[in-house]
Amino acid sequence: MARNLYILAGVLLLFAALCFVMAMTSGRFQPALPANGTLWKTTALFLTVGGLVVGLLGIMTALFEQVDRRSEERRIRQRDGRPRGSGPGLRGR
């Protein structure tokens, strides 16, 4: 799940960078493009904020998944009564 959010954040930030480039070159090279630089800057700002928020959600999701995974492992270890670090491959040694 976190990987999908990272990809979405990257795409949003890429589009924000493209909007920023369009704001800086508004109408100089191709006069048929919309020449309103303020609109491009506002769009770039919203896409940047959206990308950062989605990136933060991806980080939080990864952290909560790790906490869930470790608590599940701890619960299984405590149920089995095995000490930490002793796996099935170390019993015969």
**57-66: per-residue pLDDT in tens?**
999 999 999 9
E-strand spans in the chain?
none
Would you place residue 30 in the very low, low, confident or very high pLDDT band (cuts 50, 70, 90)? low
* Reported pTM: 0.71
Would you place residue 24 in the very low, low, confident or very high pLDDT band (cuts 50, 70, 90)? confident
Cβ-proximal residues to 55 (8 Å cutoff; 6+ apart), any chain:
5, 6, 9, 13
Asked whether 13 and 43 are in contact (CB, 8 A), the reply is no
SS3 content of the chain, % helix, strand, coil (to 5): 75, 0, 25
